[in-house]
């Protein structure tokens, strides 16, 4: 296990995420979306992102399975405990993103921008399908960060997989770059917070 991040480190990381998000909003989002739309595979990838929340469903199944295992008196393995922590991280992070953050920002998707030339934020009128922050990025990071913290020797693998997933969201024009940056930052924050609470409770129990 790696040690907890300091408050100063978290604040610096949040500040950098906000800075990168704003820079992307101002200077990169539109040009990247237009560039990606001209790539050879663009016509195949520019489809609505996967709507069925598979990771959320799997997370709920994991939580229920662990609860049943514990209720029958069988010990819950360390791997299952980590998966449950990752599941809780994903579920609460996605709920906040889908029902609060997206509602506040209400940003249109890159596909709408490419069709109309308009990139608008409909403040406090958003829906769970709105683009900012990216819910898929939240899911990727909420799980990936927990795994990276729980298994630091393999963290390079988790970070590579997370990077591939985040890049795919941009290359598929499912999200603007700033959507992905903001979603990744919030998902990572959710992962750090959930893992930290779990570890603190384990330390208190011992």
**196 lies in some domain:** yes
Residue 2 has pLDDT above 50, yes or no: no
Q: Look up the CATH number of the domain holding residue 114.
A: 1.20.144
**113 lies in some domain:** yes
Decide which of 198 and 102 is more confident. 102
Chain centroid to CA 205: 30
Share of the chain above pLDDT 90, in %: 60
Tokens of 136: 């898929």
Q: Domain span at residue 185?
A: 7-205
pLDDT for the residue 1: 40
Q: Across all residues in the chain, what is the average pLDDT?
A: 87
pLDDT for the residue 56: 83
**70 lies in some domain:** yes
Reduced 3-state DSSP string for the chain = CCCCCCHHHHHHHHHHHHHHHHHHHHHCHHHHHHHHHCCCCHHHHCCCCCCCCHHHHHHHHHHHHHHHHHHCCCCCCHHHHHHHHHHHHHHHHHHHHHHHHHHHHCECCHHHHHHHCCCCECCCCCCCCCCCCCHHHHHHHHHHHHHHHHCHHHHHHHHHHHHHHHHHHHHCCCCCHHHHHHHHHHHHHHHHHHHHHHHHHHHHHC
State mean pLDDT over 57-69.
89
Residue 63 has pLDDT above 60, yes or no: yes
**189 lies in some domain:** yes
Residue 43 has pLDDT above 70, yes or no: no
**178 lies in some domain:** yes
**1 lies in some domain:** no
What would the pLDDT profile of 128-186 be if each residue is shown by its tens digit? 889 999 999 999 999 999 999 999 998 899 999 999 999 999 988 889 999 999 999 99
In 3D, which of 95, 130, 134 has the Cα closest to residue 113? Answer: 130
Decide which of 181 and 69 is more confident. 181
**2 lies in some domain:** no
State mean pLDDT over 68-73.
86
What would the pLDDT profile of 117-126 be if each residue is shown by its tens digit? 999 999 999 9
State mean pLDDT over 85-95.
94
Structural domain count, the chain: 1
**14 lies in some domain:** yes
Residue 74: band (very low, low, confident or very high) from pLDDT cuts 50, 70, 90: confident
Distance CA 133, CA 141 (A): 13
């Amino acid at each position: 296990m790696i040690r907890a991040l300091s408050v100063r480190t978290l604040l610096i990381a949040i500040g950098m995420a906000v800075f990168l998000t704003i820079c992307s909003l101002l200077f990169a989002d539109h040009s990247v979306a237009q560039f990606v739309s001209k790539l050879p595979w663009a016509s195949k990838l520019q489809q609505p992102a996967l709507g069925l929340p598979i990771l959320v469903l799997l997370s709920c199944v994991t939580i229920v399975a662990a609860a049943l295992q514990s209720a029958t008196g069988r010990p819950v393995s360390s791997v299952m405990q980590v998966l449950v922590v990752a599941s809780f991280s994903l579920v609460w992070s996605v709920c906040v993103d889908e029902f609060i953050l997206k509602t506040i920002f209400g940003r249109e998707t890159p596909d709408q921008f490419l069709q109309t030339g308009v990139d608008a934020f409909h403040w406090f009128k958003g829906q769970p399908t709105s683009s900012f922050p990216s819910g898929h990025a939240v899911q990727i990071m909420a799980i990936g960060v927990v795994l990276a913290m729980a298994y630091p020797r393999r963290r390079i693998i988790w970070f590579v997989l997370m990077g591939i997933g985040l890049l795919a969201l941009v290359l598929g024009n499912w999200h603007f770059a700033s959507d992905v940056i903001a979603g990744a930052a919030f998902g990572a924050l959710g992962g750090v917070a959930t893992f930290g609470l779990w570890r603190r409770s384990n330390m208190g129990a011992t």
